[in-house]
Amino acid sequence: MIFRAAVCVAALALGMAPAIAQDYPSKPIRILVGFAPGGIVDEGARYLADFITRETGQQAIVENRTGAAGVPALGVVAKADPDGYTIAVTISGSLVISPFVQKQMPLDVTKDLALVSSLVEAPQFIAINSQLPAKNLAEFIALAKQKPGGFDYGSAGVGSLPHLSAALFAHQAGLNMVHVPFRGAQPAVAELMAGRIAMIASSVGDLQAGIDGGTIRVLVAAANKRLAYLPDVPSAPEAGMPNFLVSTWLGVVAPAATPQPIIDRLHQLSQAMLKDPAMQKRLATRNIEPMPMSQAEFRSFVAKQYDLWKGHIQSIGVEAQ
C-alpha cells in the first residue's frame, strides 16, 4: 500500500514537472547581487536580467545587497522560497574562497544553494608600476628577490580574490612581499598608478586606465593562453608559472530545494544569453569571456575550484577573519 502510494506520488511529480517549466516565469524574478552597481557581478546580473525580460516577457530585477564579499546576499537566497523567483548572480570568491577566509558564514554554500549555470569569466593579471626597473615577469621576480620584504602589493581587502591571487603568485614565485589591503579595487589601483605600491593582481577592467596612461605595466595573465585584448602579455605557462591560473568567474545560484524543471529553465536562459550576438558584443567590449557549461560541468567545476582554493589558502597561510 505504501509502495503504491509512493508510485502515485512520483508519477504525479513527473506529470507536474513539464507544467512547472511551462508556467515559469509567471511573475517578476529578483536577481540578488552582493556588490555595488558598476562592477563585473552587477554587470553580469544586468545582462542576464535584460535577456530574461526580453525572452520571457517577465521582468527580472537586479537588487544590490553589498557587504562581506557578497556572502550576505547568498544567505538571503539560501533562505528564500525555492520557487525560482529569488536567485543570485554570484562571483567565484563568494562560493569557493569565502568559506575558508570568513569565520561567520551565514550559509553552507555546498548544501544551501543549487548551482544553476555558469556565466562569464575574466582572468587575473599581475601588474606593476611602470617606473619599476623590470620590463617583464622574470626581471620583476629577480628584482623582488633582491629585497625580501622590500616590495608590497595592494588588494581590494583581506581575503578578496585580488589579495589571494597576488599572495598565490608571490608564494609560487618564491617572493617575500608585504600585503597592503584597501577598501576596494579602485583605491589599490590608484596607489599602484601613483607608485606608492609596487604590484597588484586584478582583472583587466580595473587596470585599463593605468595601461592606457602608461603608469601600469602588465606582466602576466593568470590564464592558459594569451588574451586577444592584451596580445603582448604572456600567459602564465609561457612565463614559467603553469600553476598560476586564476580567474574571476560568475554563476547563477538558487535555493537548494528549487525544483529541477525551474533550474533547467534558468540554465537554458543563462546559456542562451551567452550565445546571443548582442550579448557577446557587450561582453567583448568589456573584455569578459563567456563560460558556457552544462549543469553537470558547472557542478564539477565549482567542486574542483572549492577544493583547489582550500589548498591554496592553506599553502599561503591566510587565516579566516
Res 257 pLDDT > 60: yes
In a domain? residue 7: no
Instruction: Give yes or no: residues 172 and 117 share one domain.
Output: no
Provide the pairing of β-strand 247-255 with 152-155. Answer: unpaired
pLDDT tier for residue 224 given thresholds of 50, 70 and 90: very high
The CATH number of the domain holding residue 264 is: 3.40.190.150
> Based on the domain organization, do 108 and 21 belong to the same domain?
yes
> What CATH code is carried by the domain that includes residue 215?
3.40.190.10
Q: What's the pLDDT band for 201 if we cut at 50, 70, 90?
A: very high
pLDDT of residue 40: 83
Per DSSP, 232 falls in state T
* Domain around 205: 125-221
Say yes or no to pLDDT of 150 above 70: yes
**pLDDT value of residue 1:** 45
Count of domains for the chain: 2
* 83 in the same domain as 104: yes
**Residue 19 pLDDT level (bands cut at 50, 70, 90):** low
Assess if residue 240 is contained within a domain.
no
Grid coordinates of 281 = 558584443
Q: Is residue 278 pLDDT above 60, yes or no?
A: yes
Asked if 106 and 135 sit in the same domain, the reply is no
The distance between the two most distant Cα atoms of the chain, rounded to a whole number of Å, is: 81
- Phi then psi for residue 147, to 5 deg, are -130, 75
**Most trustworthy range by pLDDT among 31-45, 90-104, 298-312:** 298-312
Assigned domain for 6 exists: no
> Which of 174-178, 203-207, 306-310 is the least confident region?
203-207
As a whole number, mean pLDDT of residues 144-148 equals: 93
Judge whether 241 and 173 are in contact, CB under 8 Å: yes
Residue from 283, 303, 285, 263 nearest 21 by CA: 263
Can you give the pLDDT at residue 317? 84
Mean pLDDT of the 154-163 span:
85
**Is residue 72 pLDDT above 70, yes or no?**
yes
Q: Is residue 185 a contact partner of residue 192, using CB atoms and an 8 Å limit? A: no
Asked whether the predicted pLDDT for residue 7 surpasses 50, the reply is no
The reply to whether 107 and 129 lie within a common domain is no
- Pair (100, 27) in one structural domain: yes
- Domain match, 23 and 71 both: yes
pLDDT at residue number 20 = 58
* DSSP secondary structure letters along 80-137: S-SSSSEEEEEEHHHHHTHHHH-S--SS-TTTSEEEEEEEEEEE-EEEEETTSS-SSH
